[in-house]
Amino acid sequence: MAKQTGKKIIIGNWKMNPASPKAAEKLFAEVAKSASGIKKTEIVICPPFIYLERLKKLSKKINLGAQNVFGREVGPFTGEVSADMIYNIGARYVILGHSERRTLGESDSDVNKKIKAALSAGLLPILCVGEETRDEDHQYFNVVKEQIRACLYGVPKNLISKIIVAYEPVWAISTTLGRKDATSTDCREMAVFIRKVLSDIASLDIAKDVHIIYGGSVNERDAEEFLKDGGAEGLLVGRASLDAKKFSEIVKICEALNS
Ligand code: PGA
């Protein structure tokens, strides 16, 4: 959606935060307030499921996304939430395949089912891919390629352009023990590679329409570097999205680059 309008996209992944609806509303309202003049950047907040409906009422400008959905439409699946439910309360995006969910046992095949369910409900999937470590033989490119191929298996080609691919090297995510900073060069190389993989799966034209974004400890100090030199068409922000000031700063940096 954002790609068609030429907008870059900044997505906040709140993960399992904050602890109360009141705190969620406060954080969201602060982000919404400072977004009032933003025109060329798509802003998406992905809070826990339970806050989506109340946050939807607070702002028309900020898009909402979920952090997961179940891969089946309806039925006896205790504790699960379907893509239709998410769509019907007004959210339009969903993060899928996040490394923290993969650690809990989610496989590429699970992610594949979820992508198909999300697309058929009208949600735009934010597909997270990324290697756990980097090796000297550059096998990490294959890791990412296999994730993309398996997660997109059987997805109709005409729907692939609706997917946002978030490159999130696990070794750069803020909660990874002994984490390291990724550079804009790491990001740029992988963005080019991901585009090629998508082009081989679908076509060059379709691949060009896919938003490729970066995530992994992005903050207000390095956001510009990833957007400008890293070839990222947006950012998936975790920890810094829990600080309205920092997140809004990142949005403003993106907006200034788009202008
Ligand atoms: P981080 O999280 O910015 O805290 O590293 C990003 C993510 O896990 O999506």
Question: Ligand 1 centre from 76 Cα, in Å?
Answer: 32
Tell me which of 98, 211, 220, 255 is the catalytic residue.
Answer: 98
3-state secondary structure of 127: strand
User: pTM for the whole thing?
Assistant: 0.97
pLDDT of residue 4: 62
For the CA of 173, the closest atom of ligand 1 is 5
Question: Ligand 1 centre from 239 Cα, in Å?
Answer: 6
Tell me the C-alpha distance between 139 and 123, whole Å: 32
Over the stretch 66-85, which tens digit does the pLDDT of each residue have?
999 999 999 999 999 999 99
Tell me the C-alpha distance between 96 and 125, whole Å: 6
Tell me the C-alpha distance between 210 and 193, whole Å: 13
In angstroms, what is the C-alpha Rg of the chain? Answer: 17
Low-confidence residues of the chain: pLDDT under 50: none
Pair 68, 127: CB distance under 8 Å: no
Tell me the C-alpha distance between 250 and 244, whole Å: 10
Tell me the C-alpha distance between 4 and 124, whole Å: 13
3-state secondary structure of 94: strand
Whose tokens are 């039925």? That residue is 75
Whose tokens are 């080609």? That residue is 157
pLDDT of residue 259: 76
- Residue 198: which residues within 8 A CB-CB, separation 6 or more? 148, 160, 165, 206, 207, 210
CB-neighbour burial class of residue 108 (10 A; exposed 0-12, middle 13-18, buried 19+): middle
pLDDT of residue 258: 84
Ligand 1 pocket, residue 238 CB under 6 Å:
yes
Whose tokens are 């058929």? That residue is 120
Which H or E run contains 121? helix 108-121
Tokens of 117: 């369910």
Whose tokens are 């339009």? That residue is 92
Over the stretch 189-201, which tens digit does the pLDDT of each residue have?
999 999 999 999 9
